[in-house]
Structure 1
């Protein structure tokens, strides 16, 4: 049989879809039980599941919105972003970056998106506060474009009580100037994150869904290919086995050219990279 979950357009404050009855965006992945659960979601007879996900979409959006030259350079050269950042922060060639350096760079890369401060960084990295402060300062010295962008977003939010995504969609923060420190700090952290997450996992993914449907319809493939699941930066389609390669190529190209195709006609310096996989069930597509 078929399981029909609900997907809500306005179920989150960031603009992302939410899912309920049941929540299919929160399927376990890493545990053995999780794998068995995912294996239970199977394609129909004569069909395959095709999954597509944007690679490091939020960090790519950070680079786009901030215009940081070094982060942009890493993505344009198609290098590993965490190793690339570690190379600049630790002052070593990228081929000399070890696993621990990369781990630390990964922590701060994703941490800055959510307004991570020195205290939270210390907890994630271990070590002393002084070491965390040094790493934090060095990161923003090397990636000053990111630092300046985050400061601009915060200042704008404090002045106007809202932020905007790349496409101009607003999110309001009534507590951004609160006299209660806890509420103010929470609003500041969320405001810093809102344009990035709202652009990456809301605006871009929704445009991708629309454009994929248009392109499949042009090729008369829409009646044999159906969107069955959306999980944050991932889209899962069910398609006839005989047209698998053709559909995979179309969807991948469409997802990678969303920004240029949008009404903004955004001239992108940083490529959107999409990974894909297929299988008979959801557990096989990764």
Structure 2
């Protein structure tokens, strides 16, 4: 039944719909909205190309239906763990910064500190748990949600939660400060100073207040990472490609959260990759902030 439902969803949402939206030039022209989300990220519609399935093998095959024009290739550039890197930058946590500075896997690095074992002794289950808490914490996940995602008992989840914040105290202090300032001002700011309002953070309705607090905790991280930085990366890549006289050879065709997809003439792929990667990795230094950090932004 589940397989049938998956097939039906793929058929009705993508296979039967998208081919009919292709225009006379053989291309699909989606709309991207600059302010389509509360976080500041782009949103996509008609069709939504940011929501292509990736979790199943059948879902991933939908992506195979998108191809470059003759003589060109589709090249994807994806920021590596961008939200966690921004969490390290904004919090100034020494241990998290060190993991990224040494270019170690962040989930293995966190697992090593939390479980108290050498990084080369981390097994897949330890890494999985570290990954859950890494992303959960920056999205305001509490102990109950952590228990649900990790499995096991509440006591185990509480111990893991406490141990994480004991090891990464800079993250704890930062998140508490964000929550405090959001309650005081009813808004948060990204690294670049972009404001997001949270009027419900003063609500007398517990559900609304709690939801506003959880969202506010993540807003500066997500807003900086997948909104401000990705948009600046698009701008800087465009500038650098223009300087290299490659604008006729390289075209941005899709943006999906922390990923940029370009259509590149085959003979220009190597040069374009070097230019775009550098543009994306140097966003902070090139911005009006001229921001210096020990945490590198990596693109792959």
TM-score by length of structure 2 reads 0.91
Distance, in Å, in 2 between the alignment partners of 1:31 and 1:267 is 39
Name the residue aligned to 2:156. 131
Structure 2 residue corresponding to 1:167, chosen from 184, 192, 197: 192
Moved over 3 A (4+): none
Residue of structure 2 in register with 1:284 after alignment: none
Q: Does 1:189 align with 2:214?
A: yes
1:40 aligned partner: 65
Show CA shifts across 1:200-239 (max 9, x none).
Answer: 0000000000000000001110011100000000000001
Cα deviations across residues 102-150 of structure 1 (Å, max 9, x unaligned)?
1111100000111000000001111111111111001000000000000
Structure 2 stretches lacking a partner, 5+ long: 1-25
Distance (whole Å) between structure 1 residues aligned to residue 99 and residue 67 of structure 2 = 38
How much has 1:29 moved relative to structure 2? Answer: 1.6
Q: 1:24 aligns with which of 42, 49, 54?
A: 49
Equivalent residue for 1:205? 230
Q: In structure 2, which of residues 270, 275, 280 is the aligned counterpart of residue 245 of structure 1?
A: 270
Match of 2:134 in 1: 109
Partner of 1:146: 171
Aligned with 2:239: secondary structure? helix
Q: Where does residue 80 of structure 1 map in the other structure?
A: 105
- SS of structure 2 residue aligned to 1:229: strand
Q: Tell me if 1:264 matches 2:289.
A: yes
Question: d(CA) in 2 for partners of 1:30 and 1:199?
Answer: 26
Structure of greater relative contact order (alpha carbons < 8 Å, 6+ residues apart):
1
**What is the correspondence of 1:226-245 to structure 2 with a 5 Å cutoff?**
226-245=251-270
**Offset, 1:92:** 0.8
Which region of structure 1 is more displaced relative to structure 2, 88-97 or 139-148?
88-97
SS of equivalent to 2:89 = helix
Q: Aligned match of 1:59 in 78, 81, 84?
A: 84
Normalising by structure 1, what TM-score?
0.95
Partner Cα distance (2:113, 2:252) in 1:
41
Equivalents in 2 of 1:20, 1:168: separation in Å? 28
> Counterpart of 1:222 in 2: which secondary structure?
coil
